Amino acid sequence: MEEELTHTPGSGGLTVEECQDMIRRSLETQKVKFLKEHLEKAGCGIGDNFINAVNCDKNISGGYVRGEGIMVCSNHMNVQDEVNQVVMHELIHAYDDCRAANLDWANCAHHACSEIRAGHLSGDCHYKRELLRGYMKIRGHEQECVRRRVMKSVIANPYCSEAAAKDAMEAVWDVCYNDTKPFDRAP
């Protein structure tokens, strides 16, 4: 639910106003429009104030909170692509929350599943992003990246120890990694 930073903190960051403008641009991208459309079809339309730029104290780039919406940490964003990425990732969490009536964010397996899906479907682990993060693996980088980012997020869940997070991720990996809804296949 909270998104790992994709760059080094303290590398500038945007003002809340600049980030809010980038969020507006993000809402016009094809993949974000697609996710918004499918949230509507699932009965969970998002209003104008669902995605907001905020300054964050934590070392995260954004997050989704049930009943509140999505926050994008403006002070940890520098370019449009980063904002687009966070918006997509968090919209996948919102979609999962909408379509699964019994999703329990305190349940390590539920949380891990949504993180697997968000990491895989949002493009978080595209090889160019991984290179920018300093990970230089040629083969198998995407799944390794998703696993690393799932662990970081689920361990941050106060209900999940590192061992519980790892066990949960392994238990749900195949089903959740291969669940590409609302996409026909991983974009």
List the 60-65 sheet strands across, edge first. Answer: 2-4, 60-65, 69-73, 51-54
Mean pLDDT in residue range 171-177: 97
Q: 0.85 exceeded by the pTM? A: yes
Q: pLDDT band for 85, please (50, 70, 90 cuts).
A: very high
For 89-121, the pLDDT digits (tens) are 999 999 999 999 789 999 999 999 999 999 999
Kindly name the residue from 90, 115, 130, 142 that is annotated as catalytic: 90
**Alpha-carbon span 178 to 70, nearest angstrom:** 25
Do 118 and 149 touch, CB atoms closer than 8 A?
no
Q: Which residues fall within 8 angstroms of residue 117, CB to CB, at 6 or more apart? A: 92, 96, 176, 177, 179
In the prediction, which pLDDT does 9 show? 44
In the prediction, which pLDDT does 101 show? 79
Residue spans per domain, the chain: 14-99, 104-180
User: pLDDT at residue 123 above 90?
Assistant: no
For 139-165, the pLDDT digits (tens) are 667 888 899 999 999 999 999 999 999
Mean pLDDT in residue range 167-185: 96
User: pLDDT at residue 16 above 60?
Assistant: yes
> Does the annotation count 40 as an active-site position?
no
Angle at alpha carbon of residue 3, lines to 107 and 21, rounded to 5°:
135
Q: pLDDT band for 45, please (50, 70, 90 cuts).
A: confident
User: pLDDT at residue 32 above 60?
Assistant: yes
In the prediction, which pLDDT does 8 show? 43
**Alpha-carbon span 27 to 5, nearest angstrom:** 21
**Alpha-carbon span 28 to 25, nearest angstrom:** 5
Q: Which amino acid type is present at position 119?
A: G
